[in-house]
Amino acid sequence: MLQALRDKFIHFILNKPKLALSVSLIIFSISLIGLTKITSDFTPRIWFEDEHPVLKSLDEFEKRFGTDQIIALGIYRDDLLFTKENLEHIKEMTQRMWEIKSVYRVDSLSNFNHIQSSEDDIEISPLFESMDLKAINKKLDLNPDLYNNLISKDQAVIFIRAQIKPLFGKAPVYEEIMEDLNKLTDEYEEKGFKFLKVGSIPITHAFKEISLSDNLKIIPFMFGFIFLLLIYFYRSILGIFAPMLVSFITILTVFGILGFSGVIFNSILAAIPGIILAICLADTIHILTSYYQKRHEGEAVKSAISYSIEKNFLATVLTTLTTTVSFLTIAFTDLIPLSDLGVLAGVGSVLAWLNTYLILPPLILLCPPAWSLQRKPVDTSAPNPLLKLSSFILNNKTMIIIVFSALSLTSLYLSTQNEVNSDPVKYFRDSTTIKKAYYKSKEHFRGLRGIDIEIDSGLADGVKDPVFLNKVEAFFKRLEKKSDVVQISSVLTILKKMNKYLLSGTDKDLVLPNSQEKVAEALMLYSFGLPQGLGLDNLVSIDNRFLKFKLRWTLETTKEAVATHEEIYKIADEMGLKIRTGGYFPIYAKVNGLVVDSFLKSMSMAIVLVSLIILIVFRNFKLALLAMLPNVIPLTMGAAFMSIFDIYIDIGTSIVSAICLGIAVDDTIHFVTHFELNRKKYQDTKIALERTFLSTGKALVLTTILLVVGFGSFIMADFLPNHYFGILCAIVLSFALITDLLFLPALLLLRKK
C-alpha cells in the first residue's frame, strides 16, 4: 500500500508539475494572511498557561500590591550632581515620570515623605520641600535607608523608580513606555544629564529589541552566506535558488500558521527560521545531489529527477518522520514557549518535506534545461576522497570504535559537571546599552536585584497586631544577618519613625508601637500627610491583612537566588509566618526547576520513539540501536564543550540538544537507509559502503557545511542565548557528521552479513 502511495505521489509530481507547484503556492498564499495576526510577548508570563498556579498567585499578589515591573532611571552627570539647580531638574523629572504611559506610582528623593516633629506636631513633608542642600543632607542622614536605594552613598547617582500598573494577563506595551521615557531623557541630556535605564521594564524591552534585531541582522547574513556556498557547490541557477526558495516559502508558511494558531511570538520562537532553514536544506540538497549526479552521467532531466525522487523518497520520509517526532516530544512540557517551539518545528518539518517535493522537482521540469545543468562527462580518473575514507574505515574499524568510545565516555563524564543556572543580565553582550547601564549602576549601588514578599497575618487588620509585627521584625533581623541581603524595605520603618515622634522624639522610642491602637493611630496619621498616589497601598493591603516587604540582595544568578529564596521560606516557617513571593521571581524559579526535567523528558522520548521508528522500518533491533548511537554521542560532546567553557544549562542551551537530535538523525537515516539498500543489492559490504559514500556522503558533507555556517551565523548575536545556541548547534552538528562518516560505518561493518 505504501509503495502504491509512493508511486502515485511521484507520478503526480512528474506528470503534473504545474499543479504540484500550484498546491504549494496556494498553501503559502493562504498562510500569508496569518502573518498579520502575529502577536508577541517577552514577559515571563509566556512560560505558563493563564490558569497555572504560579500565574494565579501572581495575579492575586498584583491585585493587592501592584506589579513589580518598574523603570529604574539612574541619573548622573560628568560634573557634580548634588547641586540646587540639578535637584530642581530631578524634581521636574519625577513629575514628568508620572506622565509615562502605564505608570501609576513614582518614588524619588524629591517626593520621599520625611517624618519629623515640630513642637507637639508631627510633620510629613517631601524631602525636597526646600532646595537648601544642608537641610536636604540633614534629612538624608535621618533616613539612612535612602542611601544605596534612591541615592548612592557618594551622591553621584540618583534613582527615580516608576512602577507600572498591573494588566492582569496582558503584557505592557513596552514600545510606548520606552518611547515616553526616551523622550524625557533626550530632553534632559541636552542639559548635561546622563541616564541609566535599568529595571524590569527596560530589560524586558531589551530582550525583545535585541532578539528581533539579531534576527534582522543574522538571517540575511545566513541566507547570503548559504547562497554563496550553493553557488560554489552547484554553479547552476536552479541549484542556487531552489533550496533558498523552498526555505523561504516554508519559513513564512510556518509563521503564518503561528499567526492563525494564536501562538504568541517570543525570544524562544526566534529560533524557528534557523531550524526550518536547516531542515529544508537537508531535504533539498539530497534531492539535488542525486539529480546532478545522474545529469553528470548523461541522464535526461526527467529521468534524472525521477531517479533522485525514488532514491531519496524512503530516506526523506523517514527523516521527516523522525525529525517531526523529535520536535514534538518537546511539546510535552509545562513550559509553553518550548511546547510551541516543538509543535511549530514539527509542523515545519512536514512542510519542508512537502515543499521540497511540490516545488523542487516541478521547478526542475519546468525551468529551461540550461538552468538545471547541462550534461557533463564524469571524470573517473580523479581520486575520490570519500572512497579513500571508505577504505580507511574498512581497515581500521576496531580502532575507530575504541577512539570514539573513549571520547564518548570522557564527554559523558564532563557533561555531568554542567550547572543548571541563568542570569538575565548576562544574556546581553557587554557592548549593549542595557548591560552597560546595569554595570554602571552596580558601581554605585549594592543589591540592584531582589524580591517582593507578602506576609499573611491571617486576619483583617492583623497587620496592626503588635505581636504579629514583632514576629515580623524578628524575621527581618534574621534575614539581615545573611551576607547576601542588602536591605529590607517595609512599613515597619515608617511605624518606628511615627512611634518615635509620637512619643519622646528620641531614638529610644524608635521601636514598634506596643498596642494595636497605637499602630492604627500611626498608620492613620501618616496616611493623612501623603499626596495622592504615594499611599501605603504598596506596603499594606486594603484590609490590613497582608504586609509586603522588598528584600534587595547581591545575588545575580537564578541558582543562588532560588537557594536563598528557599532558605527565606524555611526561616519563615520556623517562625510561624505564612509568606508568599510576588512578582515574576516565582516564574523564574519554576522555569529554572523545569529546565532539566523538560530536557530529560523530551530527549528520552525522542530517542525511544526514533529508535522505534527505525526498528519498525528495518525490522532489526541491532540496527536500530546502532543507528541511534551516532546521534547521542555528538550531544554528549556538545555538553562537554559547555562544561569546559562554563556555559550554563538554561532554556536556550537545553533546546540545542532536542534541535540537533532532530536534525542530526536525518544524516544517520540517509546513511543507514542507503547502506542497507546497497548491501541487499550488491550482497557485498565493501561495495555497499563505497556506493553509500559516493551517493550519500557528498550530500551529508554539503548539508552539514551549510548547517554549520547557517547556525554559526548566530555567533554575531547580541542576545547571548542566541549566540551560544549558534555555537553549540555548529559544534554538535560538526561532531554528528564526523560520527556519521567514521563511527557509524565502523559499527555497521561489525554486524554479521
pLDDT in tens, 493-529: 999 999 998 888 888 989 999 999 999 999 998 888 6
User: Nearest CA to 68 among 105, 16, 32?
Assistant: 105
Query: Does residue 370 register a pLDDT over 80?
Result: no
How does DSSP assign 150-183, residue by residue? TB-TTSS-EEEEEEEPP-SSS---HHHHHHHHHH
If pLDDT is split at 50, 70 and 90, which confidence band does 76 have? Answer: very high
Confidence (pLDDT) at 281: 87
Q: Which of the four CATH numbers 3.30.360.10, 1.20.1640.10, 1.10.3720.10, 3.50.50.60 does domain 1-36+236-373 have?
A: 1.20.1640.10
158-172 pLDDT, tens digit each: 999 999 988 776 777
Whether the CB-CB separation of 278 and 702 falls below 8 Å is answered with no
Q: pLDDT averaged over the chain?
A: 88
- From 65-74, 416-425, 439-448, the region with the lowest mean pLDDT: 416-425
If pLDDT is split at 50, 70 and 90, which confidence band does 374 have? Answer: very low
Query: Does residue 74 register a pLDDT over 60?
Result: yes
Confidence (pLDDT) at 712: 84
Provide CB contacts within 8 A for 260, sequence distance 6+: 31, 33, 34, 37
- From 67-71, 287-291, 657-661, the region with the lowest mean pLDDT: 657-661
Above pLDDT 70, what percent of the chain? Answer: 97
- From 29-33, 276-280, 518-522, the region with the lowest mean pLDDT: 276-280
Question: Is the CATH code 3.30.450.20 the one for domain 388-417+585-753?
Answer: no
Confidence (pLDDT) at 372: 53
Above pLDDT 90, what percent of the chain? Answer: 45
Cell of 418: 554542567
Q: 26 or 749: which carries more pLDDT confidence?
A: 26
- Give whole-number Cα distances, 663 to 327, 605, 619, in Å: 10, 16, 23
Query: Does residue 373 register a pLDDT over 60?
Result: no
Whether the CB-CB separation of 720 and 427 falls below 8 Å is answered with yes
Confidence (pLDDT) at 620: 77
115-142: buried (b, 16+ CB within 10 Å) or exposed (e) per residue?
A: bbeeeeebebebbbeeeeeeebeebbee
Domain with CATH 1.20.1640.10 in the chain: 1-36+236-373, 388-417+585-753
What value does the mean pLDDT take over residues 247-270?
A: 92
- The number of beta carbons lying within 10 Å of the beta carbon of residue 377 is 8
Confidence (pLDDT) at 277: 87
- From 25-34, 40-49, 619-628, 695-704, the region with the lowest mean pLDDT: 619-628
- From 313-322, 326-335, 597-606, 672-681, the region with the lowest mean pLDDT: 597-606
**What is the pTM assigned to this prediction?**
0.83
Confidence (pLDDT) at 548: 96
Cell of 3: 509503495
Confidence (pLDDT) at 378: 45
Query: Does residue 27 register a pLDDT over 90?
Result: yes
Residue 740: DSSP 8-state: I
Q: 625 or 542: which carries more pLDDT confidence?
A: 542
What value does the mean pLDDT take over residues 126-139?
A: 88
Confidence (pLDDT) at 129: 83
Confidence (pLDDT) at 380: 45
If pLDDT is split at 50, 70 and 90, which confidence band does 375 have? Answer: very low
Task: Look up cell 570514539; give the residue.
Answer: 404
Determine the Cα–Cα distance for residues 283 and 280; give it in Å rounded to an integer.
Answer: 5
Residue ranges of E strands in 18-94 = 70-77
467-482: buried (b, 16+ CB within 10 Å) or exposed (e) per residue?
A: ebbebbeebbeebeee
Query: Does residue 486 register a pLDDT over 60?
Result: yes
User: Nearest CA to 290 among 277, 276, 304, 303?
Assistant: 304
Q: 332 or 553: which carries more pLDDT confidence?
A: 553
Residue 246 burial class via C-beta count within 10 angstroms: exposed 0-12, middle 13-18, buried 19 and up:
buried
Provide CB contacts within 8 A for 178, sequence distance 6+: 201, 202, 205
558-594 pLDDT, tens digit each: 889 999 999 999 999 999 999 999 988 998 888 877 8
Query: Does residue 241 register a pLDDT over 70?
Result: yes
